[in-house]
Structure 1
Amino acid sequence: MPEDPGSHHPFRWHAFWFAVAIVVVAAGVVAVAIRLPGASRGSSAVSPSASVITAPMSTAATPSGPSVAPRRLTPEPTTTAMTPRAGCQGGRLPVLRVLQFNIRAGISDTGDLDLPEVAAEIEAVRPDLVSLNEVDSDTLRTRIDEPAYLAATTGLHVVYGPNLLYDGGRFGNAILTRYPVGESHNLRLPGTFGLEPRGLLTAIVRVDGRRLSFSSTHLSDGSEGLQSRILQALSVARALQGMAAPHIVAGDLNSVPTDLPARILRQHLLDAQEQGGTGVGNTIPEAHPSHRFDYILYDHNFAVMPGSTRVRASESSDHRAVFTQLTLLPRRNC
């Protein structure tokens, strides 16, 4: 009777099966990590074909002390919005249609996924630039690549900035743009340990030959997130101050205008609601909004079209969207 090789070499035998087990587990982890979009979408009838750019993540240093903000910007005279000075490129200046929308992962009040309604609400304003918050990608709860679906449905380019691995997929901000994306990045924002990580997603596009920066962000929520919101607002302000290109930032700040995080950003940037809004601009809760959490902010390279900023009711989210029209002003040497 042949001898059991394992009886003389128990260590080798056990090591062999231990190695096999590691390989099997590793293969399973890799299979989950690289699961293709749509592989488990169940009965979903939509197969998005849009190409999604996932912005690379970088890290923001946590501000070490109080930041002294520069004087608050005042709006440029709107009379120059459509009349370039002599010696500059003639014709009408570009007017950008901008939308800010926290979509709550496309999950309606009934608990159903309703991305077609989200897409319809976006398309209704014919936007050029869209900031989206709370966007899922292949999570178990939604089972769809939401950035790809919304890009394919609206016909816009998309950049995705995931900040959290969640429910088997990813969760974060997204940007839709009518203009091709030249470059993008997702800046990790500082925050209290244990809270949901947050980011500043930025896409660089060209409008009439000029580089333009468009950013989307979603600051920490709740009373426990107040310190994080302040640090995040300081980091966003610092990042935008370092940008040479004209810039717009939109997002859910989880702050009303009198809260410190909103005040920090509104010291650096102009507020589309304040400069060109109708009504009070409250965005949450959707049915009877009593707080303004959602903003579109911009620098001195833009002028808001008077009366163009308005809050739009939503059938798909717990937030109302904010829409505005911004004129890209001539360069300062024009």
Structure 2
Amino acid sequence: MLVLLTGCPLAENYTDDAGPRYSGDHRPPGPVATEVPSSVTFVAFNLAFSENVTEAITALKRPPLAGADVIAMQEMDAPSVDRIAKELGLTYVYYPASVQVDGGDFGNAVLSRWPITEDWKIHLPHDDPYHQRRRIAVVATVDIQGSLVQTVSVHNATPIVGLGGRLDQTEALIDGVDGRGPLQVIAGDFNTSDPGSLRQTVKLFSDRGYQWASQGVGDTVDSVIGGLPLDSIFSRGLSPLERGVDRRPSGSDHYPVWVRFAWQP
């Protein structure tokens, strides 16, 4: 009935909590570094349907993104995640949320220079009302010199679900890592394009004990209606030292956001 009323094909969602799941480890052979880092850098990067992987790799290899410890990516498919991880020498975990019209997968990944010891997928509430497309968050436990950082790569729905729906999605992903340790980073595309949505999202995180680690970096997408602050990084238990947006070409309509945290676990 929904298809007949709207003319929109329904999405094919991956509803299994356990998968599909893809992982790989392209870090150089040998023991993990034993020297304690003075800082760690996290990146949030929506690659726009994974269409321009070569340009994305170029962006991730140049400062300020070069050498990032953890990269949270959205709008990814498995081959693109594996290629980026191989080029950068990273380990990764990837879960698709749904299948695109062209048959390609669409989901989130966490890539890391440090071991990933555990991972899981969080189904977010409020599927797209027209396509019934589902959004997810991917959680990876990153082990940085014995200290565990719960890292979340999230892609909230577009404003079509309404601000209340997207705030419910944010609440769900916070609940999904609540109580799993003092160090947490939640990064990705929150689709905070409509008036008041970013302020409400920041307030929700603040009320739950997080800080807006990427505060003040500005817009992350250029659009026909102007710049939009869609992508953010939030943290708990880590102190930001520097933050920014790399606005040079990166193969996407989103600019990568980065935050360098002091490492004092």
Q: Alpha carbons of 1:94 and 1:240: their partners in 2 closer, same or farther (altered >3 Å)?
A: farther
Q: One-letter code of the match for 1:106?
A: S
Question: Which residue, 46, 60, 72 being the options, matches 1:131?
Answer: 72
TM-score by length of 1: 0.61
Is 2:23 aligned against 1:53? yes
- Determine helix, strand or coil for the equivalent of 1:150: helix
Provide Cα deviations, 1:223-272, integer angstroms capped at 9, x if missing partner.
Answer: 34434212101112222323224110101101159423343124321112
Provide Cα deviations, 1:64-121, integer angstroms capped at 9, x if missing partner.
Answer: xxxxxxxxxxxxxxxxxxxxxxxxxxx96641111111110233xxxxxx31111111
Gaps of 5+ in 1: 1-50, 55-90, 108-113, 138-144
Q: Distance in 1 between matches of 2:44 and 2:226?
A: 16
* 1:316-331 → structure 2 map (5 Å cutoff): 316-330=251-265
**Deviation, structure 1 residue 157:** 0.8
Poorly superposed stretches of 4+, deviation over 4 Å: 286-289
In the alignment, what sits opposite 2:212? 271
In the alignment, what sits opposite 1:120? 58
Q: Distance in 1 between matches of 2:252 and 2:214?
A: 20
In the alignment, what sits opposite 1:248? 185
Provide Cα deviations, 1:25-76, integer angstroms capped at 9, x if missing partner.
Answer: xxxxxxxxxxxxxxxxxxxxxxxxxx9419xxxxxxxxxxxxxxxxxxxxxx
Q: Distance in 2 between matches of 1:250 and 1:121?
A: 18
In the alignment, what sits opposite 2:110? 175
* 1:188-199 → structure 2 map (5 Å cutoff): 188-192=123-127, 193=129, 194-199=131-136
Provide Cα deviations, 1:135-182, integer angstroms capped at 9, x if missing partner.
Answer: 124xxxxxxx11111111111111102110233332101111001211
In the alignment, what sits opposite 2:169? 232
Q: Distance in 1 between matches of 2:224 and 2:257?
A: 15
Q: Distance in 1 between matches of 2:240 and 2:202?
A: 19
Question: Which residue, 234, 238, 242 being the options, matches 1:302?
Answer: 238
Q: Distance in 1 between matches of 2:171 and 2:56?
A: 31
* 1:144-163 → structure 2 map (5 Å cutoff): 145-163=79-97
User: Which is greater in Rg?
Assistant: 1
Q: Alpha carbons of 1:118 and 1:99: their partners in 2 closer, same or farther (altered >3 Å)?
A: same
Q: Percent identity?
A: 24
Normalized per residue, which structure has more helix? 1
Q: Alpha carbons of 1:317 and 1:266: their partners in 2 closer, same or farther (altered >3 Å)?
A: farther
Q: Alpha carbons of 1:218 and 1:212: their partners in 2 closer, same or farther (altered >3 Å)?
A: same
Between 1:166-175 and 1:251-260, the stretch displaced more is 251-260
Q: One-letter code of the match for 1:150?
A: I
Asked if structure 1 preserves the Cα contact closer than 8 Å seen for 2:202 and 2:212, the reply is no
Q: Distance in 1 between matches of 2:192 and 2:77?
A: 23
Q: One-letter code of the match for 1:177?
A: S
Gaps of 5+ in 2: 1-20, 25-34
TM-score by length of 2: 0.76
Provide Cα deviations, 1:280-314, integer angstroms capped at 9, x if missing partner.
Answer: 52111279962211111100x21111xx1011114
**Deviation, structure 1 residue 329:** 2.6
Q: Distance in 1 between matches of 2:226 and 2:246?
A: 11
Q: Cα RMSD between the aligned structures? A: 2.5
Normalized per residue, which structure has more strand? 2
Asked if structure 2 preserves the Cα contact closer than 8 Å seen for 1:272 and 1:304, the reply is yes
Is 2:49 aligned against 1:105? yes
